[in-house]
Amino acid sequence: MAFNLFLVLSLVFIVSTDERKLMNMDVNDGVPQVGMQCRSSYSVQDGDTCSDLVQRFQLTTSAFNVFNQNLDCDNLFIGQWICLNNVTIY
């Protein structure tokens, strides 16, 4: 009887762990972590501007802004990473 209970509890644990992986839930807080992951990036060089980067990498301004939501184009600094291509994570 105890062995059957162990098997059932093990199965429940495995299923709940797999559900978290499928939903990309952080095990620590159980809240789904939906967002974007940068697949391609660029390190800002001296003289770069956001509009230059949009043209150089053939992006639309709206796509560039979505990829770099917290970017302050007036305060770029050398070595700052700019995202050029994102993928949405669920």
Percent of the chain scoring above 70 in pLDDT: 58
7 and 43 assigned to the same domain: no
Residues 40 and 25 in one domain: no
Mean pLDDT of 46-74: 93
The whole domain housing 16 covers 1-30
Regarding whether 41 and 63 lie in a shared domain, the answer is yes
Q: How many domains does the chain have?
A: 2
CATH number, domain of 57, equals 3.10.350.10
Show the tokens assigned to 31. Answer: 């809240």
Same domain, 7 and 46: no
Q: With 60 as the cut, is the pLDDT of residue 21 above it? A: no
Residue 17: is its pLDDT beyond 70? no
Region of 47 (left: φ > 0; alpha: ψ -120 to 50; beta: rest) is left
Return the higher-pLDDT residue of 36 and 70: 70
Mean pLDDT on 78-83: 95
Check whether residue 17 and residue 43 sit in a common domain: no
| pTM over 0.85, yes/no | no
| Same-domain pairing of 86 and 46 | yes
Specify the pLDDT at position 68.
92
